Amino acid sequence: MTLLEAVDVTVRFGGVTAVRGASLDAAAGHVTGLIGPNGAGKTTLFNVITGLQRPTRGTVRFSNEDITRRATHERARRGIARTFQRLEAFGSLSVRENVLVAAEIHRRHALRRSRHHQTPALVADRLIERVGLDRYADRPADTVPTGIARLLELARALALDPQLLLLDEPSSGLSTAETESFGELLRELAGEGRAVLIVEHDMELIMRVCDRVNVLNFGTVIASGTPTEVRADADVRHAYLGTAE
């Protein structure tokens, strides 16, 4: 089932067209990839989907509702959560406290659809274990390695029990083994019926975990399909994979 539809989205910053008539879907139960060279417009498109950037043109639909004009917090309340390419955790709080803050906020908004009936502290501890942060739980967030801080971002996003999860380069800074279990976690999250939309430069991860992949180049979607289809696409090889491999 299609949960998110971005339709014909254009974003102009003065003379720069960062996104140019881009359309993409994300389905519940699927991991959808968004790849493309640096500056292709991936983060800008994420910002449009989450409401941080108003598009010059185009529509964002979520659960069949036009949310193009909705504020970020209204989208969050509908079940959209994200992580940031640049880290946004509270540095002086511990890893556990950071997740707890998110769990408390979620609890306060007490969504009826929420599957969590545990205390915020329990929710936080379960999430910390789930994303593999146990060893770092008591460390101040600004003292953990970058890859670990990204997992913290993920745990905070999951504390909101999102239907749609947007991840902007979540695996950078992770070791090979950590990336492996991170990929498995993404499949599990999709298996729970969530839609996962991931921007990532790690092609091996993208090809392994995604059901569908969209390729953005100079703000335009130049290919969409299964990982196998996208990998075989001549335009993609030329624009992206050819230069990356």
In the complex, the residues that contact ligand ATP under the rule CB under 6 A are 13, 16, 18, 36, 38-44, 85
Please state, in angstroms and rounded to a whole number, the distance separating the CA atoms of residues 228 and 40. Answer: 21
44 versus 94: smaller Cβ distance to Mg ion: 44
In the complex, the smallest distance separating the C-beta of residue 129 from ligand ATP, rounded to whole angstroms, is 30
Residue type for 26, please? A
38 versus 64: smaller Cβ distance to Mg ion: 38
In the complex, the smallest distance separating the C-beta of residue 165 from Mg ion, rounded to whole angstroms, is 17
**What angle, rounded to 10 degrees, do the helices at 146-158 and 176-191 form?**
10
Exposed / middle / buried, residue 160 (Cβ in 10 Å: 0-12, 13-18, 19+): buried
90 binds, among Mg ion, ligand ATP, none (CB under 5 to 8 A by kind): none
CA 149: distance to chain centroid?
15
Footprint on this chain of Mg ion (rule: CB under 5 A):
42-43, 85
In the complex, the smallest distance separating the C-beta of residue 165 from ligand ATP, rounded to whole angstroms, is 17
| N-terminal to C-terminal alpha carbon distance within the chain | 34
In the complex, the smallest distance separating the C-beta of residue 45 from ligand ATP, rounded to whole angstroms, is 7
63 versus 85: smaller Cβ distance to ligand ATP: 85
Please state, in angstroms and rounded to a whole number, the distance separating the CA atoms of residues 245 and 241. Answer: 6
Please state, in angstroms and rounded to a whole number, the distance separating the CA atoms of residues 137 and 208. Answer: 29
27 versus 216: smaller Cβ distance to ligand ATP: 216
38 binds, among ligand ATP, Mg ion, none (CB under 5 to 8 A by kind): ligand ATP
User: CA 16, 19, 24: angle at the middle one, nearest 5?
Assistant: 180
16 binds, among Mg ion, ligand ATP, none (CB under 5 to 8 A by kind): ligand ATP
